[in-house]
Structure 1
Amino acid sequence: MRAKQLADEIGAWHLDVCIDGVVSAVLSLFQTVTGKRPRYKVDGGSNAENLGLQNIQARMRMVLAFMLASLLPWVHSKSGFYLVLGSSNVDEGLRGYLTKYDCSSADINPIGSISKQDLRLFLRWAATNLGYQSLADIEAAPPTAELEPIRSDYTQLDEVDMGMTYEELSVYGRMRKIFRCGPNLCYKWGTKLSPAEVAEKVKYFFKYYSINRHKMTVLTPSYHAESYSPEDNRFDLRQFLYNSKWPYQFKKIDEIVDGLNGDSVAFPEEEEEATSSQEFGVVAANSGDPSAGL
């Protein structure tokens, strides 16, 4: 509904397409081959079944999008072809919260180097200053992949699935790429969380960052807009095979937490800003000097 409203406001041609029949056909083929039919988690299925069912829906969207892009001009008796635009953002790429060859796969991604937080700021601005009121509804809607069945007691939400908020992801992304920091967040979040809680959040992020980094190698090229972009094609060249247990790094984080013994690590705002301006390596969070790098 929100997509249709936006299309009407900007004068775009909109299609509502149901892919249930295509998904059912693929599942029937899978059942014929294997003798089993997967179930969603809300219906008693395992995590593997649940993810597999979401991924097949996601990939069918990509297949249909490219088919429409190549044949819609022909349908309308026109020449040429359309381009498919991607819709994955920086935070989804960092966390790996996307399916390979779904909305992450396109001809070009206009928002692929922009974080969710910055996108929401733009949507709010555009709704007010450009007159597209539907953008306010889009910005206010809870982010969801819409790939699991809705039940009376369950609705799929991005931040619940990811185990972290988009606001937290935005912070991780800036610290990782722009400031080249490791466990620096004790100083930024020290007034809200204990060192142990910060450590668990950082380790959780890097676990899934490393597990899913391989997805970045096949992402659609993005319009380069921000220095925190994790795009692997040109602007953030890194290895994509990691030990997701991070034994050395996580051990050091745990040692730092043990050394703090629950002490407060919050610094005055001006010192926090000074910390963020340093582009060193891993911050020596136990050195007593937040600007000291390792």
Structure 2
Amino acid sequence: MSTLKIACATVNQTPLDWEGNFDHIVQSIISAENQKVELLCFPELSITGYGSEDLFLSYWYPNKALKKLDELRPYCKAMTVAVGVPVRIDDKVYNCMAVIENTELKGFVAKQYMAIDGVHYEFRWFTPWEQGKVIDFDFFGSTVPLGDMIFEKNNFKYGFEICEDAWRGKDRPGYRLRDRSVEVIFNPSASHFAMGKSILREDLVKESSVELNATYVYANLLGNESGRMIFDGEIIVAGKGRILLKNELLSFEDYQLKTFDLEKDLSAYPEITSIHDKNEEFVKASSLALFDYLRKSKSKGFVLSLSGGADSSTIAILVAEMVRRGVEELGTTVFLKKLGLTYIPQTNNPIKEIVGQLLTTAYQASENSSFATFQSAKFLAESIGAVFLHWEIADEVKSYTEKIEKAIGRKLTWKNDDIALQNIQARTRSPIIWMLANLNNALLLSTSNRSEGDVGYTTMDGDTSGSISPIAAVDKFFVLQWLRWAENTLGYKGLKKVNSLQPTAELRPSENQQTDESDLMPYAVIVEIERLAIRDRRSPVDIFLILREELDIDKNLLKSYIRKFFTLWSRNQWKRERFAPSFHLDEFNIDPKTWCRFPILSGGYQEELKELDTY
């Protein structure tokens, strides 16, 4: 019986890090050689990194990638290696898999379908390849085939569906590969992480193995490659509708290698089942994203304005989990080395000690801050080992207020100047926390969440200030339940005080009893409206008709919530355009750079909202 030892390698790449990217690929090849692998597949665009964006449009960048491919050939002596690379032909760029066997380049397979939804804009950079077409390509003086090709190894025919190719239903290339009797189909991907997405991939791979009558092999990129998208490094092998191999996702390693002994008859292999938990996926992806962002930006740590509330507390825990998970997987020495730190822990609790080296927090009290939130912030910071600083901003707020009062010739009052008096407190906190970040050569972490971004419930140049906004792509309802999960499941007892507080901006005098939900609407309602409005792109009337059946809310109150959401959404697009970069973590987000483009100036749904009056 024919056998073939195959392997997939997931690699954590970075655009323009030619040396680092090349080394990750070579180390993977050496590891595969040591395990007697015969056919090794890397993910899509693994030489350059998927997130190279407009670099793909240049002439020099794809050409340099091909030179790196040529340099890779001598390392592929004892096996066949498939690696992702962009290829420019005249004025067009193609997303290709290059197949090297015994140091010889056998050919390129070009991607046939481009991802153009959500976070993907592939048509900006790449041209889809025509099915069935193969051309001759000049590779540094040698002629090699490029196009819609299949290959053979140890009497196994194999081919490729490159990422989006596999998601095109009955048009997918896999059916044409099946018609050509291909027995092994590789899917090299750069598929962004989203909570719950792994379930969809498992279903795709299992169903593909049946539909295409082939062993289906999936290999994804790994890590926070270039700032926003996170790749989970998923590797899956399926046969006859069963998962036969799956790796641990979201590794802190530079690469992972998984091998599989392929036989014509796969019935003897046991089926693998996996557990999917969105709370765990969120913390795992965020931890790796923070780690990669920190080391790739060559910063020395994080600074966080810790208010004692839910959002900043979530981010503090994510940093602590970054340290815990990174140290547990890599070991203390390697973890610190990858961050470029020479610090040597001095205690028996290196995780808490390293958190203290990497995370500095500050509680910035105004006259409207409460002792409860101060206690909450202090208790949490000390429980995880973070540096905790605190100061008053009353003098600065007073100085700004008195200057503007003198200039305009009147006193400011909460009755007439509510928004201005709230915002000046948030903005006053920004310069000094930025100063601390500069002094520490650290990244300032912004604390906005998606629900607040939807409606602009955030102060520009205040709480939006930051180098990176870790939770801007997740809603507040999720954040609140995740904090309770983190306290009980992850064991962060320092969250006890946080979880006992009702979310509030604490920008109005205490007698106003300000809460986020009284200013806006219940967060559970915002979640339902935003999913229909932003994810599903429904009209205000559609949303009302749907939620009228799903939510136990008075219809007039529901209409008022929908009016408020769309009015504030339209009014605050300019804020979303200026938010700090955020990680893509959920099935959708509101970042104009990656998922949701909306005009800064618009009619604000006025006609559409008037239609609500007819129901």
Q: Provide the TM-score with structure 1 as the length reference.
A: 0.76
Q: Determine if the alignment matches structure 1 residue 170 to structure 2 residue 527.
A: yes
Partner Cα distance (1:26, 1:39) in 2: 14
Q: Determine if the alignment matches structure 1 residue 186 to structure 2 residue 545.
A: yes
Partner Cα distance (1:145, 1:197) in 2: 24
Shift in CA distance, 24/197, structure 1 to aligned 2, threshold 3 Å: closer
Partner Cα distance (2:606, 2:418) in 1: 30
Indicate the residue corresponding to 1:242 in structure 2: 602
Q: CA deviation at 1:236?
A: 1.1
User: 5+ residue gaps in structure 1?
Assistant: 74-80, 258-294
Shift in CA distance, 198/54, structure 1 to aligned 2, threshold 3 Å: closer
The correspondence of residues 46-65 of structure 1 with structure 2, limited to 5 A, is 46=416, 49-65=417-433
Partner Cα distance (2:609, 2:588) in 1: 23
Partner Cα distance (1:167, 1:24) in 2: 37
Residue 252 of structure 1 aligns with an amino acid whose one-letter code is: E
Report the 3-state secondary structure (helix = DSSP H, G, I; strand = E; otherwise coil) of the residue aligned with 1:171.
helix
Q: Determine if the alignment matches structure 1 residue 220 to structure 2 residue 580.
A: yes
CA displacement 1:125-145 (0-9 Å, x = unmatched): 110122211324313311110
Identity rate, percent: 29
Query: How many pairs are equivalent?
Result: 238
Q: CA deviation at 1:3?
A: 1.0
Contact preservation (8 Å) 2:529, 2:543? no
Question: Where is the helix percentage greater, Structure 1 or Structure 2?
Answer: 1
Indicate the residue corresponding to 1:253 in structure 2: 612
Residue 532 of structure 2 aligns with an amino acid whose one-letter code is: M
CA displacement 1:109-137 (0-9 Å, x = unmatched): 11110101111121111101222113243
Report the 3-state secondary structure (helix = DSSP H, G, I; strand = E; otherwise coil) of the residue aligned with 1:189.
helix
Structure with greater contact order relative to length (CA < 8 Å, sep ≥ 6): 1
- 117-126 vs 188-197, greater mean Cα deviation: 188-197
Q: CA deviation at 1:197?
A: 4.1
Contact preservation (8 Å) 1:66, 1:84? yes
Residue 82 of structure 1 aligns with an amino acid whose one-letter code is: A
Contact preservation (8 Å) 1:123, 1:136? no
Report the 3-state secondary structure (helix = DSSP H, G, I; strand = E; otherwise coil) of the residue aligned with 1:15.
strand
Indicate the residue corresponding to 1:200 in structure 2: 560
Q: Determine if the alignment matches structure 1 residue 161 to structure 2 residue 519.
A: yes
Q: Provide the TM-score with structure 2 as the length reference.
A: 0.37
Report the 3-state secondary structure (helix = DSSP H, G, I; strand = E; otherwise coil) of the residue aligned with 1:14.
strand
CA displacement 1:233-285 (0-9 Å, x = unmatched): 222111121223x3321233333x1xxxxxxxxxxxxxxxxxxxxxxxxxxxx
Indicate the residue corresponding to 1:112 in structure 2: 472
Q: CA deviation at 1:179?
A: 2.0
CA displacement 1:119-178 (0-9 Å, x = unmatched): 112111110122211324313311110111112xx311111122x111111111111222
User: 5+ residue gaps in structure 2?
Assistant: 1-374
CA displacement 1:156-208 (0-9 Å, x = unmatched): 1111122x111111111111222222223423332623544433321222112
Partner Cα distance (2:385, 2:568) in 1: 40
Q: CA deviation at 1:209?
A: 1.3
Contact preservation (8 Å) 1:186, 1:195? no
**Aligned counterpart for 2:459 among listed residues 76, 80, 99:** 99
Indicate the residue corresponding to 2:219 in structure 1: none
Indicate the residue corresponding to 1:27 in structure 2: 401
Residue 54 of structure 1 aligns with an amino acid whose one-letter code is: Q
Report the 3-state secondary structure (helix = DSSP H, G, I; strand = E; otherwise coil) of the residue aligned with 1:102.
coil
Partner Cα distance (2:613, 2:534) in 1: 23
Residue 61 of structure 1 aligns with an amino acid whose one-letter code is: R
Residue 418 of structure 2 aligns with an amino acid whose one-letter code is: N
Contact preservation (8 Å) 2:384, 2:494? no
Contact preservation (8 Å) 2:381, 2:387? yes
Partner Cα distance (1:135, 1:171) in 2: 27
Question: Where is the strand percentage greater, Structure 1 or Structure 2?
Answer: 2
**Looking at CA atoms only, which structure, 1 or 2, has the larger radius of gyration?**
2
Partner Cα distance (1:195, 1:142) in 2: 26
